[in-house]
Amino acid sequence: MKFKDIKALASVQGPARSTAERLDRRCYSVGDMQKMAAKALPKSIFDYIEGGGEDEASMRRNIESFNDFSFMPKWGSVENLSLETTILGGPASMPLWLSPTGGTRLFHPQGEIAAARAARAAGVPYGLAHLSTTTMEAVSEATPGLRRWFNMEPTNDPAMLQAVLDRVSNAGYEALIVNIDCRDIGHRERDYRNGFTAPPSIKPKTVFEGALRPRWALGFITSDAIAFPNLDAEVPTGPLTSTPDMWRTLLAGAYEPTDWSDLAEIRARWNGPIILKGCVSPKDAAIAAGMGFDAIQVSNHGGRQLDHMASPMDVLPEMVAAVDGRMEIIVDGGIRRGSDVIKALALGADSCAIGRPYLYGLSAAGEAGVAHVLKLFKAEMRRTMALLGVSTIAELKEGGRELIRHRSELFVPTRTADSNELQRSLADLGTPR
């Protein structure tokens, strides 16, 4: 081939003109973004995102469980392909939203506001954690028009509960996400080795790691203190300040005994939708549906709490049967591809939520990084649906069980009689065998 022919075929790229353009050129998957985040953060901070409980078996299983399902595409026309759907009765551009994550400004100084703005731009809801590092009021002020949901722990103090609910409502949050998997804190051994204890232990390697990541270090030391201003009903005034008690709440836990009656109290006092997060028990799902909750988030907390807790995809069919259409089902845990979302919906979920993937984006490139992760998921979902032969989310949910098989259902030995019948059919058709 002549040089002029090569020149005609090849395009010479100039320097990227924006962070978004740079990400388009370098980051083709959540896995790519994960690698960028690892380079942007000190190891101890990155391990806080990456780590799970004890041997991290649940965390690994969350990802592996998606690989147990295979697609079985159907042939036919795909027209006007759309990912648009409803989640908790409101519109969403795709069946995916950002799950609450704690300590978010540890990873980037823009923290929750950057993630929330990216969610708003993408047209998906955003969940703000009770252990967030930006006030719920500041997030609301920065993101008018965003569907905001607030994450909380159940409490057995009715007065405190009402005061918190009033603050959440006044700040413009439309739904609650109530944790039911945090009666104790998971034993996260990576954190202990890195000095992520209560209070934090500053080790020489921590200082060294920070020095190797000057951009992160500069953002950390020039921003407001890492604090957790949404733990109670008081609206903070002035700059945020950090205390040992706050860190103890994040890293060691501060929980009180609660039961179904306390969840019923939340349901009675809150007029909007409520998601119960951290449920993998079909029996609990059925109880929740009977009590009038709006959704369950089938989740094991990303494998960060009880190790060897069932993974969402392993129990999803049972959860769908137990709920029987009375409430929405959200899958959260191990989702790294748009195809994972499609698998969950094919099995009966209504939407999915992500945590670690968007934290990778935030750590690597702030708001633009979160936006890029959502862009990747959207493109992968569209491509998967097109190749699967499905045009809409409604069509996927209606016929999804015919489009997906668990590996235990594949390659089942065929009875001899069935095999003989197949051979006769092929002979009748003149089909080579």
Tens of pLDDT along 190-248? 988 888 776 667 778 878 888 889 999 999 999 988 889 998 888 887 777 777 666 66
Residues with catalytic annotation?
Answer: 301
pLDDT score, position 428: 56
Distance of CA 409 to the CA centre of its chain: 28
Q: Over the chain (433 residues), what is each successive 10-residue block's mean pLDDT?
A: 67 84 96 98 94 94 96 95 98 98 95 98 98 96 98 95 97 97 89 78 80 91 90 83 68 75 97 97 98 97 94 97 97 98 98 98 98 98 98 96 90 55 54 47
Say whether pTM exceeds 0.75: yes
Amino acid at site 31: G
Q: Which residue has the tokens 């089902």?
A: 329
**Closest to 65 (Cα-Cα) out of 295, 401, 393, 316:** 316
Burial code of 355-365, b = ≥16 C-beta within 10 A, e = fewer?
bbbbbbbbbbb
